[in-house]
A and B are shown apart, each in its own frame.
Chain A
Amino acid sequence: KQEVTQIPAALSVPEGENLVLNCSFTDSAIYNLQWFRQDPGKGLTSLLLIQSSQREQTSGRLNASLDKSSGRSTLYIAASQPGDSATYLCAVKKATDSWGKLQFGAGTQVVVTP
């Protein structure tokens, strides 16, 4: 059974510092991995999606890497801003289930202080 773990559970940094969020998964047979942001009282916003054949994806200040063989993904957020404060979730989709469910980690709650 796939298990997705995110460390740390919570993180507080001063504005301007880089953020490093970790996600690990136990079954390397994944179809893709997706990073989401969740703001209180709101739904999830997709940040980056990495296909199993890719090593990384970038969007603006965000960069996500994927090492499928070791079951790890890292989300980097450069030059953090108070607006980056949110809970960040990673989710994987099984390789045999291209249209199916995502399996989520519990998330990392990030606070960026001005």
Chain B
Amino acid sequence: GAGVSQSPSNKVTEKGKDVELRCDPISGHTALYWYRQRLGQGLEFLIYFQGNSAPDKSGLPSDRFSAERTGESVSTLTIQRTQQEDSAVYLCASSLLNTDTQYFGPGTRLTVL
């Protein structure tokens, strides 16, 4: 497919466990973004990657959150020692150099018990 894909679509974990969420951006898109959407709330920016530049991590809520991106392809968002307040839908988006439209994946719904 040509869109942004994310896996898994759903993840249920126990408090204290680590989780890893994956995002495959649209091929050729140099910018990649992670957002979080808690139930009934708007999207919160977490982190973005632009080519080989240093990522903008200003939205990460704590040092339990980290993300990596391999070149201009796959990105993984890791949450260590998950807490119940981490329960949310995690959305990934990508955009093409010279355009501003961000294309979103379907999200990963994370539930921390």
Contacts and interface: CB of A to CB of B under 8 A. Distances in A.
B77 interface: no
Contacts, number: 59
Interface string A83-114: 00000010101000011111111110000000
B98 to A, nearest CB: 10
A62 to B, nearest CB: 15
B79 interface: no
B1 interface: no
Given A43-B105, A43-B106, A44-B91, A101 B4 contact: no
Interface residues of A, number: 26
Contacts of B103: 46
A49 interface: yes
**Chain A binding surface SS class:** strand
A4 interface: yes
A73 interface: no
Nearest to A97: B56
Contacts of A34: 100-102
Nearest to B51: A99
